[in-house]
Amino acid sequence: MLIKNIRVSFLLVSCALFAFSCNNDPCEDITLPAGWTCEDGNIVCKTTCNTGEVLSIDCNCITDASTITPDPCVDVTCPAGFVKEAETCDCVEIMPVDVNAGFLASSLDVFGSVDLGSFAIPSFFDIEGVFAPGAYNGQIRRIAQLTEIVSHTRDEPITFDIPAALINENRDQFMTEAAMGNSDIRTKIDELNFDAGNTSVADAFQELAAKLVETSVNFNETASNGTAGMITTGSKRRHVSANGLEYAQILEKGLYGPLLYDQMVDDYLRPSQAGPDNPSGNNESASGDYASIGTDRQHRWDEAFGYLGANAMTYPNPDNTSTGDGQFMANYIFDFSDETEEAYGINLSQRIMDAYVLGRAILKAGEGFGPSDENVNEAALEAARQDIKLYVEAGLAAAAFHYLNLAITDVTDDDKLHHLSEAYGFIYSLAFNSEGRMTEAEAYSVLEEIGWPADNHTLSGIYEINLWEVTDAQMDAARVKLDGSFPGFINVPF
């Protein structure tokens, strides 16, 4: 029983000092907090506590420390991701529940750790340090060119000559320094691996670019079904065709396919370039210019990396929530990596970077002076190559889902047209991987669900679609079909 005398004493003193009208009941006029009562001038705590509990000094019940069994594992601290097992005091790994990598399983994970002897694998794509010599200037330049082209696609009207920029006519089309030089985008599209020298894809993009420039004169019109003009999403105004196609989106995202994606997965990463079938091998002597670009295989690997669009030192940068320090494909892959990590345990952007760094390390560690003293761990390199191809493809697919998802839930037509146009671009791009999960035929099959003509599996098929009239049901059917190649993506909140 707790006794608190203070208050009563005060009152008595007060009575004496100030001649309050005091009576002889010391408990009168005293207001008490819950659990306290006044008995004969004493404030007592009347609360009773449960077993295992005791009264605290302010009349609360608290756990009785003497009833607690002391923790036998109190000295044991477990690292992150582990939990203490009470009986044995062991640290047991917290297994993620219900996260299965599924089709995103990593070939490198299966391969296991790669031993490169005394060669220390850097933590980033250290092309100027540990991986030197090496360079991918042409790729940087083309990405800069695409950047400059995209920066003009919402001009009102567009006076920048986009068709000329695609071929960098006279080598003087660009204003930004990074984009200037003896390269152009079209040449690479003309080299499509399974297009067998046919230039129709490049021609189609020239046509698309011309249409965009042409339609941009309608910037004073508000677009409607049948009328080319402007849509507005957020604060941005965008040119669309009479059919509601936002040319700029199909131009940019469509170019990811034949330029960035195809060059990476079907060209530079193939066995005869970065791989073991390269006749120039992985040695200094056969390289065209070892001092600048390294061995031939290293150079191909670097060029593949260049088309990713990632900052070699910092990608993926979690502090840059907008782009992760990546452009174009790298940007979009970063945007959806958190979702794939949560759903599959695979952070796409991190895994792609890891694979690129590891592969380059394998090539550096295994380079020779001549062909007879090379020593490349081909199996490990192949695992890295598989991871890159899989995860870049998955990143493009995630973007396609994202835009389909948005287009379905969009309330305004303007938003829907914008998002749907992006979706077409990404799905079209998925066709450009001859060894991908999604074949070209499958990509067009998805596109057909959202209106692509069955008899025109080329870029120009998109002009026959009226985007205003594409329905939610169609877009959902496209998602379902896409999910066939990327199982489970339909349920991921991309």
**C-alpha span between 200 and 469 (Å, rounded):** 28
Residue 372 in the binding site for other proteins (CB under 8 A): yes
- Binding of other proteins at residue 137 (CB under 8 A)? yes
Tell me if 446 sits within 8 A of 482, measured CB to CB: yes
Measured from the CB of residue 175, what is the shortest distance to other proteins in angstroms?
21
Q: Which of 126, 252, 262, 267 binds other proteins (CB under 8 A)?
A: 267
Minimum CB distance to other proteins smaller for 287 or for 485: 287
Q: Is 134 in the site for other proteins (CB under 8 A)?
A: no
> Residue 264 Cβ, how far from other proteins at the closest point, in Å?
13
58: CB partners within 8 A, 6+ apart:
none
Distance CA 491, CA 220 (A): 40
Q: Is 145 a residue that touches other proteins (CB under 8 A)?
A: no
Q: Is the peptide bond before 157 cis (omega within 30 degrees of 0)?
A: yes
Element (H, E) at 53: strand 53-55
Longest dimension (CA), the chain: 112
Take residue 159 and report the two structure tokens written for it. 């006076």
Q: Which of 52, 81, 371, 487 binds other proteins (CB under 8 A)?
A: 371
Judged by beta carbon, residue 181 or residue 453, the one nearer other proteins is 181
Cβ contact 155:213 at 8 Å: no
| Span near other proteins by CB under 8 A; candidates 9-17, 47-55, 363-371, 415-423 | 363-371
> For the chain, first and last CA: distance in Å?
62
- Tell me if residue 231 falls in helix, strand or coil: strand
Give the interface segment with other proteins, choosing from 101-109, 154-162, 284-292, 413-421 (CB under 8 A): 284-292
Residue 286 is a binding residue for other proteins (CB under 8 A): yes
Of 295, 411, 371, which is closest to residue 419 (Cα–Cα)?
A: 411
Q: What gap in Å lies between CA 216 and CA 252, rounded to an integer? A: 16
CB-nearer residue toward other proteins: 360 or 481: 360
- For other proteins, which stretch binds (CB under 8 A), given 93-101, 280-288, 400-408, 478-486? 280-288
* 359 Cβ contact list (under 8 Å, min separation 6): 274, 301, 381, 384, 385, 388
Nearest distance from C-beta of residue 286 to other proteins, angstroms: 3
Q: Does 168 bind other proteins (CB under 8 A)?
A: no
Q: Rounded to the nearest whole angstrom, what is the least distance from the CB of residue 97 to other proteins in the complex?
A: 48
Q: Which of 218, 273, 386, 433 binds other proteins (CB under 8 A)?
A: 273
Is 194 near other proteins (CB under 8 A)? no
- Any contact of residue 373 with other proteins (CB under 8 A)? yes
Should residue 138 be labelled a site residue for other proteins when binding is judged by CB under 8 A?
yes
Is the Cα dihedral 351, 334, 389, 342 positive or negative?
positive
Among 190, 303, 339, 422, binds other proteins (CB under 8 A): 303
* CA–CA distance, 171 with 169 (Å, rounded to integer): 5
- DSSP per-residue codes, 384-399: HHHHHHHHHHHHHHHH
Tell me: does residue 367 bind other proteins (CB under 8 A): no
Q: Which of 280, 320, 434, 466 binds other proteins (CB under 8 A)?
A: 280
Least separation in angstroms between CB 114 and other proteins: 22
In the list 72, 96, 226, 370, the residue contacting other proteins (rule: CB under 8 A) is 370
Helix (H/G/I), strand (E/B), else coil: 200: helix
Q: In this complex, which beta carbon is closest to other proteins, that of residue 305 or of residue 424?
A: 305
Unique residue bearing structure tokens 């295992």: 52
288 binds other proteins (CB under 8 A): yes
Quick one: 143 or 443, whose CB is closer to other proteins? 143
Q: How far is the CB of 312 from other proteins (least distance, A)?
A: 16
Closer to other proteins by Cβ: residue 201 or 475 = 201
Helices (H) and strands (E) in the chain, counts: 16, 9
Using CB under 8 A, count the residues that bind other proteins.
25
User: Which class for 175: exposed (0-12), middle (13-18), buried (19 or more C-beta within 10 A)?
Assistant: exposed
Indicate the helix (H) or strand (E) that contains 293.
helix 290-293
Whose Cβ is closer to other proteins: residue 160's or residue 305's? 305
Nearer to other proteins among residue 285 and residue 321 (C-beta): 285
Alpha helices in 431-454 (DSSP H): 440-449
Residue 294 backbone phi and psi in degrees, to 5: 80, -160
Q: Is the separation of the CB atoms in 306 and 426 below 8 Å? A: no
**Near other proteins by CB under 8 A: residue from 36, 125, 131, 136:** 136
Residues that bind other proteins (CB under 8 A): 135-139, 141, 183, 191, 267, 273, 279-281, 283, 285-288, 291, 303, 369-373
